[in-house]
Structure 1
Amino acid sequence: MALLPESSSAWRFVRNSLTLARKEWISLLRDGFMLGFVIYSFSLSVYSQATGISHELRNAAIAIVDEDRSALSQRLISSFHGPEFQTPTLIGHAEVDPGMAAARYTFVLDIPPDFQSDALAGRSPTAQLLIDATAMMQAGIGAGTIQGILDDEVGRFVRHEAPAAAAPISLQVRVAYNEALETAWFTGTMSVVGNITMLAVLLAGAALIREREHGTLEHLLVMPVRPAEIMTAKVLANGAVILALTIFSLFAVLRGLLGVPLAGSVPLFLAGTALYLFFATALGIFLGTVARSMPQLGLLFILIVLPMNMLSGGFTPLESEPDWLQLAMQLSPSTHFVAFAQAILFRGAGFDVVWPRFAATAGIGALFFVWSLARFRSHLASLR
Structure 2
Amino acid sequence: MHSLQNILRLGMKELYSLRRDAVLLILIGWSFSVGIYAAGTGFSTDLHNAAIAIVDEDRSQLSTRISQAFLKPEFRRPELISFDEIDPGLDTRRYSFILVIPPDFEKDVVRGNRPAIQVNIDATATMQAGIGANHIASILAQEIERYGKEQGQDASLPLSLVTRFAFNPNLSSPWFSSVMEIINNVTMLTVVLTGAAFIREREHGTLEHLMVMPLAPFEIMLAKVWANGLVIILAVSFALWVIVESVLSVPIAGSIPLFLAGVALYLFFASALGILLGTVTHSMPQFGLMFILLILPMMLLSGGETPLESQPVVLQNVMRLVPSTQFVSFAQAILYRGAGIDIVWPHFLMVTVVGLALFALAGLRFRKSIAAIR
TM-score interval, smaller chain: over 0.9
For structure 1, list consecutive stretches of 5 or more residues without a partner in the other structure.
1-10
Q: Report deviation, 1:334.
A: 0.5
Which residue pairs with 2:197 in the alignment?
207
1:63 aligns with 2:68: no
Match of 1:153 among 131, 143, 147: 143
Which residue pairs with 1:4 in the alignment?
none
Which residue pairs with 1:298 in the alignment?
288
Which residue pairs with 1:219 in the alignment?
209
Match of 1:21 among 11, 22, 28: 11
Where 2:337 maps in the other structure, the secondary structure is coil
Range 299-308 or range 178-187, more displaced:
178-187
1:188 aligns with 2:206: no
Letter in 1 for 2:58: D
In angstroms, what is the RMSD of aligned CA positions? 1.4
Which residue pairs with 1:351 in the alignment?
341
Q: Report deviation, 1:12.
A: 2.1
Which residue pairs with 1:255 in the alignment?
245
1:241 aligns with 2:236: no
Q: Report deviation, 1:116.
A: 1.4
Which residue pairs with 1:323 in the alignment?
313
Match of 1:373 among 358, 363, 373: 363
- CA deviation string 1:20-60 (max 9, x = no partner): 11100000001112111101101110011011222221111
- CA deviation string 1:170-193 (max 9, x = no partner): 122333222333221111111111
Which residue pairs with 2:352 in the alignment?
362
Range 40-49 or range 262-271, more displaced:
262-271
Name the CA distance, whole Å, in 2 between partners of 1:143 and 1:288.
50
Q: Normalized against structure 1, the TM-score is what?
A: 0.94
Tell me if the contact between 2:145 and 2:155 (Cα under 8 Å) persists in the aligned partners. no
Which residue pairs with 2:87 in the alignment?
97
For structure 2, list consecutive stretches of 5 or more residues without a partner in the other structure.
none
Q: Normalized against structure 2, the TM-score is what?
A: 0.96
1:81 aligns with 2:71: yes
Letter in 1 for 2:188: M
Distance 1:279 1:109, change over 3 A: same
Range 195-204 or range 314-323, more displaced:
314-323
Range 261-270 or range 353-362, more displaced:
261-270
Letter in 1 for 2:141: D
Name the CA distance, whole Å, in 2 between partners of 1:290 and 1:182.
43
Name the CA distance, whole Å, in 1 between partners of 2:274 and 2:83.
60
Which residue pairs with 2:167 in the alignment?
177
Match of 2:37 among 47, 50, 61: 47
Letter in 1 for 2:248: L
Letter in 2 for 1:220: L
- CA deviation string 1:53-86 (max 9, x = no partner): 2222111111212222222211111111101101
Name the CA distance, whole Å, in 1 between partners of 2:64 and 2:76.
16
Where 1:346 maps in the other structure, the secondary structure is helix
Range 351-360 or range 152-161, more displaced:
152-161
Tell me if the contact between 1:120 and 1:162 (Cα under 8 Å) persists in the aligned partners. no
Where 1:185 maps in the other structure, the secondary structure is helix
Which residue pairs with 2:219 in the alignment?
229
Letter in 2 for 1:283: L
Tell me if the contact between 1:343 and 1:349 (Cα under 8 Å) persists in the aligned partners. yes
Which residue pairs with 1:5 in the alignment?
none
Q: Give the count of matched residue pairs.
A: 374
Name the CA distance, whole Å, in 2 between partners of 1:155 and 1:86.
23
Match of 1:197 among 162, 187, 200: 187
Name the CA distance, whole Å, in 2 between partners of 1:261 and 1:75.
35
Q: Report deviation, 1:162.
A: 4.0
Letter in 2 for 1:343: A
Range 181-190 or range 160-169, more displaced:
160-169
Q: Report deviation, 1:165.
A: 5.3
- CA deviation string 1:80-125 (max 9, x = no partner): 1101101112222332223222222221111122211111111100
Which residue pairs with 1:6 in the alignment?
none
Letter in 2 for 1:379: S
Name the CA distance, whole Å, in 2 between partners of 1:288 and 1:96.
60
Name the CA distance, whole Å, in 2 between partners of 1:224 and 1:101.
74
